[in-house]
Structure 1
Amino acid sequence: MESIIELRHLKTLLALEETGSVSLAAKRVFLTQSALSHQIRALEDYYETSLFERKSNPLRFTPAGERLLQLARELMPQVAAAERDMAQIIEGEAGELRLAVECHTCFDWLMPAMGEFRPLWPQVELDIVSGFQADPVGLLLTHRADLAIVSEAVPQAGIVYQPLFAYEMVGICAKDHPLAAKAVWQPEDFADETLITYPVPDDMLDLLRKVLLPNGINPQRRHSELTIAIIQLVASRRGIAALPYWTVMPYLEKDYVISRKITKHSLQSELYAAMRAEDTGKSYLDDFCQTVRERGFADLPGLSVLEM
């Protein structure tokens, strides 16, 4: 009996389970919402039954949908393992992956991704170039790093980029700060405040680069290397800050500070993996990027798919 089920169907079912939403699942598998719906409808028409309840939030699978979801959970890891084995047979298992990172908050999700990657590629030497890197792409070009996590995909000869994910930056302040009364912060709200940031150039801070400086606003600064120190300074009304939502969420839950949306469309930041063009055929680099994406979406709240 020839089956209608394809790997793309199983990937879609897993995305639906992970996101609980048709629209979010479509982004996860890089389809339009209508294309994903058509894919699911084809399965439902073939089996003459629904796979999930349309009006439930989050999405809830029917018994038939659960059975196909079980297949996806069992089969897709085996397919991934087989593809990894094929790459290791053809290309060899050994390699070197030195990471350069320009993001102070990346280590929250990077360490779990590295932990998952190591046993999959035990012969790949995985390491982090120590310290914050102001020019990680420069380290690639001088062969002092093999992959860089960067916030902009700036075209450069010899460098290619893979999108990782986008995320929301939120403004944070003390609970009794005057800005706590505003649900959305506009650029002018920062003008007379002390902005607490990491000690990095302005063009590496999305709040300044995308929101404040284009509007002619350049607030007073205070710097700290540590995220927890920034949170403590904000809670003590020494200033305000903008940080990734996933970073501040634990402190919001503990009621240390409050968060607010930055502009009505929200401030979105992006992360890309940069590598040398000559290395694009190395499967372990691609697999590491995929591991980062999967762990990020599994562990971090508020991520969205980033497309090139």
Structure 2
Amino acid sequence: MIERIHLRIVHAVKEQGSLTAAAKELCVTQSALSHTVRKLEDNLGTEIWIREGRSLRLTQAGQYLLNIANRVLPLLDHAETKLKQITQGERGTLRIGMECHPCYQWLLRVVSPFLDAWPDVDVDVKQKFQFGGVGALLDYEIDLLVTPDPFYKSGLNFQPVFDYEQVLVVPKNHPLAFHQYVKAEDLRDQVLITYPVATDRLDIYSQFLSPANVNPRLHKTTEATDIMMQMVACNRGVAALPKWLAEEYSKTLPLTVLRLGENGIDKQIYLGTRDGDSGIQYLQAFMDLARSFNSPTN
């Protein structure tokens, strides 16, 4: 029978790199850890690791167990935390995943009154540019997903929070700055600066450039919005941002905000949750508060 300790051992050895380090991490002796692994291998009739010099290489069975450990252990840890919170009357932590990288300022406006209203609830924000929000939500790594691109899947629920327009930002003295709007063809000879996200997840590509079979002359990336806008202001390229954010930067930098196409690109920000979490009071309270901030600038 595969037990939790087996999954923890496989995960710890992979993370720590050796049986000795894994035993120290798990607060057991190396001999006890080795005995547990040998017993599991005997029961399964297959090896978990193969020794290659001083290192260990997972067998196919070991890799499968590692994949299971990566999925199951966070679920078990989350369940234990929730049960302790129920027993002790605590509220715990609201874990928020961000797929809308420019939305951080909006999130701060919501978090501040939420923390005031729920003093026993902490907030943890996960924001990575290669972040897979839907998977994290399904795997209980986060409780709430902020995203402009909902992925409707059984067990998940997405509710719109506010609308916005995706626009192009160019230097004040740029030739395109005098246009009423830009066409995809106008960007063929431009340097486009974006966040370090796959192009198929960037609206400027998926909804504007790719349908017209156009690519910019050069595509650069940066994680910091401030740096991105400074680069645009200094004639290093052009960038696409939500209109509310672009207009904020245009107040202090020599920038011009332009519509993408004659009709523009309209988007929405959604909050994603798991269907089974609808009874969590602080989660529902956060969503109600977020809907009251139905604009990034209100």
Q: Same fold (TM over 0.5)?
A: yes
Distance 2:195 2:292 in 1: 27
Match of 1:287 among 270, 280, 285: 285
Aligned ranges 1:1-308 → 2 under 5 Å? 94-129=91-126, 131-132=128-129, 134-219=131-216, 220-297=218-295, 300=297
Deviations 1:209-257 (A, max 9, x none): 1111111112220111111111111111111111112212232123521
Distance 1:285 1:241 in 2: 34
Distance 2:124 2:130 in 1: 14
The answer for the alignment partner of 1:45 in structure 2 is none
Q: How large is the RMSD of aligned CA atoms in angstroms? A: 1.8
Q: Which runs of 5+ in 1 are unaligned?
A: 1-91, 302-308
Identity, % of aligned positions? 35
Q: Secondary structure of 2:293's partner?
A: helix
Q: Secondary structure of 2:113's partner?
A: helix
Distance 2:290 2:270 in 1: 11
Distance 1:130 1:268 in 2: 23
Distance 2:135 2:219 in 1: 28
Distance 2:270 2:258 in 1: 25
What letter is aligned with 1:263?
G
Q: CA deviation at 1:283?
A: 3.1
Deviations 1:144-184 (A, max 9, x none): 11111111122112211111111011111111111112111
Q: CA deviation at 1:268?
A: 1.5
What letter is aligned with 2:283?
L
Distance 2:269 2:157 in 1: 13
- Alpha carbons 1:100, 1:133 under 8 Å: kept: no
Distance 2:161 2:204 in 1: 20
What letter is aligned with 1:181?
F
Aligned length: 209
Cα gap change, 1:287 to 1:193, in 2 (>3 Å): same
Q: CA deviation at 1:186?
A: 1.3
Distance 1:137 1:257 in 2: 35
Q: CA deviation at 1:101?
A: 0.5
Question: Which segment drifts farther, 154-163 or 126-135?
Answer: 126-135
What letter is aligned with 1:222?
K
- Alpha carbons 2:196, 2:222 under 8 Å: kept: yes
Deviations 1:54-89 (A, max 9, x none): xxxxxxxxxxxxxxxxxxxxxxxxxxxxxxxxxxxx
What letter is aligned with 2:228?
I
Distance 1:130 1:262 in 2: 27
Q: Secondary structure of 2:101's partner?
A: coil
- Alpha carbons 2:99, 2:127 under 8 Å: kept: no
Q: Which runs of 5+ in 2 are unaligned?
A: 1-88
**Larger Rg belongs to:** 2
The alignment's TM-score, normalised by the length of structure 2, stands at 0.66
